[in-house]
Structure 1
Amino acid sequence: MNDTALSPGVLSRRSAAIIAAYGLSMFLIGLGARELTRHEVLAAYPAKEMLRYGHWIVPMYAGIPRLLKPPTTSWFIAASMAICRSDAAWVARLPSVAAAMAVALLIAHLAARHFGDRAGLLTGLIQLTCYYMLNWGRLAEADIFLCAFATGAMVCFSLATVSVEPPHGAAPEGSDGANPRRAALRLGFFALTGLSFLAKGPIGLMFIFLAVAAFAVVRRGREIARFFWSPTGWLILLVCILGWPVAAWLSHPPIVEAWRREMSDTATGGFGTDPFYTYLHAIPFDLLPWTPLVIAGLWLLWKRGLFRRPAGQFFLCWFAPGFVALHLIAMKSHHYPMPLLPPFSIAAAVALLELARRLRRPLIAVVSVFAGLWVAVAGVQLLVIPRFDDFKPQADFARRAAVHVPAGQRIYIIDHPDRRTTLDDPRPRPEPYVAYHLRPPIWRFRNEKEFAAFAAGRLGQTGAAIYVVATEAQRRAIAPLGNITVLDRCAGLRRGETEMHRLLLLKIER
């Protein structure tokens, strides 16, 4: 390998601009071509209530607190909605795109620092075109923010503590530990670590502190210990970790028990268990289409002795401890390892540089690869994914409710069972997807009994009509309430649903 191709450097403004332009053009195209998914509305709907009713501390979902996740993702979405003055799907997803761009630029900067500008440029482009980034970087969910904050914290730590070792026996370049920027990097580390907690809870802290603790053990350097001597930094971290939880507890004390159950059920299998080997196939899949180059790059870096040097040891510590810890959690998912994966883009970039060096026209080859990926991604987003959007019938149905329900009249929703449960199942039901697309004011009930008790009293007192969204099965359950008119029906069913799951807009009168 040509060592000069992997000499330390900096990410040039030109390379950063190419990464940003490539990523934004690819991620923004077709961003609103499909409706929000059910998981997306869990963050996007509370954002709408934040703007309308001011529920910034304890997120609300159609009148009922949503207690399981921190509200940070909803804060970002609410900011996007306020700036754009819209609640369209692409507006809700804009903050996620920004987070994806941040991940690519951060890991590109780190790659350039150790391997040069060309490696940094390719690292950023590879990062943007990994499956997990293309998928979760376009979804209004918390995972991409966790990845961005964790990556930012790790990059700050690396810049301050990991030395750069150029090839050909030259003297190692120091980290930024002796640089006046050290204080800023330290504060950035603590702030971003705190934000990782606010993005998705303790798992961000686990990833980051396991990684830096492992690196401290491997390197045994005083400089790493000095990095953590920062009363201001620890104060920032404590404010992030304690500020919102305390405010949420004071506002809604039952939230503490909800957190305890969430963490316990996730760790012990209360939400279900997955095979121990899940991540052994999930991670290679998430890294597609670059998985072969990742493997080749790791081998090349091992041959060069990188993993005996600080940079290589840091990359290993970034991934390995978190990877082991994830196997101790009973519930597993493809997106859980996301914050651990950015260093693999560096390995793929090293392999791509080596491969390009062997070609007669390397620039044309590399440009063709990324141009082809751009076209493929754009085609999938514009032509393929919208055809399989099984949330669109429900979204269109909810929007049509404004035609049937008088302005200002409240629309009620009964939480409906998912495709695998029945009305008799005692387990909590998922938040109703259609709430996001109904025009306010709306209010929801957890089950048919709650709604029936309310509706009976309301009809007896005022006699005014009640408008409610329910399934066909629920319509039959509440039939004794009075005269029920079906104003509209959802045109489609999601995969696995039966006619009993079809959504209806009902008008109930005495």
Structure 2
Amino acid sequence: MAMSTTGGRRRGLGLAWLLALCFLTLGPALGTASRLTYHEAFVAQGAREILASGSWEHPTIGGRPWLEKPPLPFWMVAAAGSIAGRVTPLAARLPSALAATFLVLGVAHLARRHYGTSIALLAGAMQATTSWTVLRGRLAEADVSLACLIVWTLVAFDHLRTTTEINPRRWRWAFFVLLGLTSLAKGTGFGAVLVGSVVLVVLFWDRRPEAVRRLIFPAGWLVSGLIAVVWPLAMVAKYGPGVGSLWLMHVADRVGDRSGHGFFAGESWGEYILGVLGQGLPWTPLALIGIVHAFRALRRGELSAGDRLMLAWTVAPMVLVSLPGGRNTHYAIYAIVPWSIWAALTLARFGSRLEARGRSALRVRRTAVVGLTAVAAAYGLVFGLFGARFDRRGQEWAFYEQAGALVRSDEPLVLLYDDWDRDPYPTPFGPIPHDLAVRLYYLDRPASWHLDGDPISTEADSPPSSLAVVARDRDLPALAELGDVQTLARGPHLRWDRVFSLFRVVPIRPTVNSASSTPVPRTMKTGS
């Protein structure tokens, strides 16, 4: 009984330590170290519009349906915003930080099953202090949430393949439910394909019929499939086949060599390899040593069940995400989760060598704990003290906050775009500029936008007394045709092609054609 109590206390202390490391790396200045990125703003603004409309079926951006991504990240941020009272940057990023924390716990749980408590704590601590965990865990994006779901799906699979239980109902249902949820995080079927690649390799490698039989579970596959496809089918039924074409276009752009605008987020092999290695820092060298050690054990035929799972997880998803022309470093994070366990095994071997040379085991363990805690604290200090200082793009977003405060509540606000800007995202509901979400989020008010060739007209039954416009200086001649122009605020000169100002236009009343006595509206073209 005393031994059981001692073991439980140690596990509790280990869990508390891992949670503390996650808090140190993810907590400091989570909402203030930087302003939202373009991609984060889509999630935050989409969640804000969910709360404003009360409709949770799908997010919108500027009132238009935004169906590029599945809704789970938007739902999580909207839920956090509902609890917080509004979708603040902290509320937007908190779900990702929690997902990163649960990911760390999943890695530790898996490592403990195969390698013991000491390796579990080292692996969890290394995952908590790996650069991609920290960086992705501090962004309101889908990547770390999908990674967390993949980890726990494979944890459930590992229980199914190795358990001695005759009917492990809890883990069987967990596997199928989590497998379905991966499709709601980042692309229908994407996470399931990555998990499936690992499962198939491991089942073939293990050659254990009982593990295969546990996966022959029609009710589980039905539930998993329903979770994955109900939302996409509902969107196709509501908005037509164009939605399905949109998703197919995204897949084709990533899988194919080229799309209409060149490589879709593609990287050269040199950039990609360096990026993948960089995401595993500071533990990449230890992880690579661990992987080499595992391949040597494979050649000798000495791999354990845990080693087989880790190798399959390291290789199969990496192949799938690396071969397409649209490969990108951040897709590889789902394959490098096992690196933390490889690194932990390597560090443990180094510790054993130190003990063999006369160092006490207690001193070696304390050194590891202090060192890992110091790395976590360094992350927190850097983000807490210096994060905002290096956020150059955030200066532009601060300008939009200022502009939103200067525009009267009853004054229409227009955003002008032209061919100098990046092409907008094509959607079945019309194009959406890539920075529209971040502008709307920081303006914190409705705004319309106009693309080159799309006219702005002052003709209306009750034209506004003034019009607020975010535009460039080169738009001033066209704005002057609408009326008197006042400059209310100027944005920062961060990039020569992104210097915007806030103008107020007091419209000129329509002139009257003397021949027909018909009012002639005055219009403009953006960028004219």
TM-score (norm 1): 0.87
Residue of structure 1 equivalent to 2:62: 62
TM-aligned CA deviation for residue 148 of structure 1: 0.6
Which residue of structure 1 aligns with residue 323 of structure 2? 328
How far residue 358 of structure 1 moved from its aligned partner, in angstroms, is 3.3
Aligned twin of 2:518: none
The yes-or-no answer on 1:50 pairing with 2:50 is yes
Relative to structure 1, the CA distance from residue 10 to residue 418 in structure 2 (aligned partners, 3 Å threshold; closer, same or farther) is farther
Contact residue 11 and residue 120 of structure 1 kept, 8 A: no
Q: 1:266 to 1:117 in 2, by over 3 A?
A: same
In structure 2, the partner of 1:6 is none
Cα displacement (A) at 1:462: 2.2
Alignment of 1:312 onto 2:307? yes
* Contact map agreement 2:411 2:466 (CA 8 A) in 1: no
Partner secondary structure for residue 178 of structure 1: coil
Contact 1:19 1:125 in 2 (8 A): yes
Look at both structures and tell me which one has the larger radius of gyration over its CA atoms. 2
- Equivalent pair of 1:11/1:109 in contact (CA under 8 Å): no
| 1:508 correspondence with 2:510 | no
Summarize deviations over 1:273-294 as a string: whole Å, max 9, x none.
Answer: 4324554322221111001111
Summarize deviations over 1:369-399 as a string: whole Å, max 9, x none: 1132123212220233211112322232222
CA distance in 1, matches of 2:271, 2:129: 22
Match of 1:3 in 2: none
Conserved? CA contact 2:317–2:334, under 8 Å: no
CA change 1:464–1:110 in 2 (3 A) is same
Whether 2:171 is the aligned partner of 1:185: answer yes
Shift of 1:328: 2.5
Are 2:451 and 1:447 aligned? yes
Match of 1:12 in 2: 11
Partner of 1:379: 381
The reply to whether residue 249 of structure 1 matches residue 236 of structure 2 is yes
Q: 1:291 aligns with which of 284, 288, 292?
A: 284
Counterpart-to-counterpart distance in 1, 2:249 and 2:480: 36
| TM-score under structure 2 length normalisation | 0.84
| Aligned with residue 441 of structure 2, among 436, 445, 457 | 436
Change (3 A) 1:287 1:11: farther
Q: Deviations over 1:80-108 (max 9, x none)?
A: 11111233212211000000001100010
SS in 1 for 2:329: coil
The Cα of 1:295 is off from its aligned counterpart by 2.0
Task: Determine the structure 1 residue equivalent to 2:407.
Answer: 405
Find the residue that maps to 1:337 and give its secondary structure: helix
Kept in 2, the 8 Å contact 1:10–1:112? The answer is no
Query: Over residues 268-320 of structure 1, what are the superposed CA-to-partner deviations in whole Å (9 max), with x where a residue is unaligned?
Result: 13251432455432222111100111122234445556863322111111121
Kept after mapping to 2: 8 A contact 1:123/1:349 = yes
Shift of 1:10: 13
Structure-to-structure mapping, 1:20-35, within 5 angstroms: 20-32=19-31, 33-35=33-35
Relative to 1, partners in 2 of residues 1:427 and 1:242: Cα closer, same or farther, differing over 3 Å?
closer
Q: 1:168 matched to which residue of 2?
A: none
Whole-angstrom CA distance in 2 between matches of 1:246 and 1:420: 31
Query: Residue 4 of structure 1 corresponds to which residue in structure 2?
Result: none
On the 8 A contact 1:92/1:140 being kept in 2, the answer is: yes
Amino acid at match of 1:87: V
Contact 1:11–1:112 (Cα < 8 Å) also in 2: no
Q: Which amino acid aligns with 2:381?
A: G
Secondary structure at the residue paired with 1:484?
strand
> Is the 1:31–1:90 Cα contact (8 Å) retained in structure 2?
yes
Instruction: Quote the offset at 1:34 in angstroms.
Output: 1.6
Cα deviation for residue 481 of structure 1 reads 2.8
Partner of 1:211: 198
Query: Which residue, out of 236, 248, 259, partners 1:260?
Result: 248
Please give the secondary structure, in 2, of the residue aligned with 1:308. coil
Check conservation: 2:154, 2:195, Cα contact below 8 A. Answer: yes
| Residue of structure 2 in register with 1:164 after alignment | none
CA distance in 1: counterparts of 2:320 and 2:364, whole angstroms: 40
Q: How big is each residue's C-alpha offset from its partner over 1:438-469, in whole Å with a ceiling of 9 and x where there is no partner?
A: 122x133251433x34x3334x6424322232
Is residue 147 of structure 1 aligned with residue 134 of structure 2? no
Instruction: Tell me how far apart the structure 2 counterparts of residues 386 and 431 of structure 1 sit (CA, whole Å).
Output: 20
The range that moved more, 87-96 or 400-409, is 400-409
Q: How does 1:337-486 map to 2 (within 5 A)?
A: 337-359=332-354, 360=359, 361-415=363-417, 429-432=433-436, 433-440=438-445, 442-450=446-454, 452-453=455-456, 455-458=457-460, 461-486=462-487
**CA 1:398–1:224: 2 relative to 1, 3 Å:** same
Give the equivalent residue in structure 2 for 1:221. 208
Percent identity between matched residues is 27
* Letter of the structure 1 residue corresponding to residue 35 of structure 2: E
Amino acid in the other structure paired with 1:127: Q
Out of 189-198 and 351-360, give the one that drifted further.
351-360
Matched length: 477
State the alpha-carbon separation in 2 of the partners of residues 307 and 340 from structure 1. Answer: 23
Q: Is this contact kept in 1: 2:479–2:505, CA < 8 A? A: no
8 A contact 1:416–1:430 mirrored in 2: no
Deviations 1:465-495 (A, max 9, x none): 22232333445554433333222121x233x
Does the aligned pair in 1 maintain the 2:131–2:280 contact within 8 Å?
yes
Contact 1:64 1:444 in 2 (8 A): no
Is the counterpart of residue 87 in structure 1 residue 87 in structure 2?
yes
SS of residue paired to 1:449 = coil
Q: Answer whether contact 1:56 1:75 (CA < 8 A) is retained.
A: yes
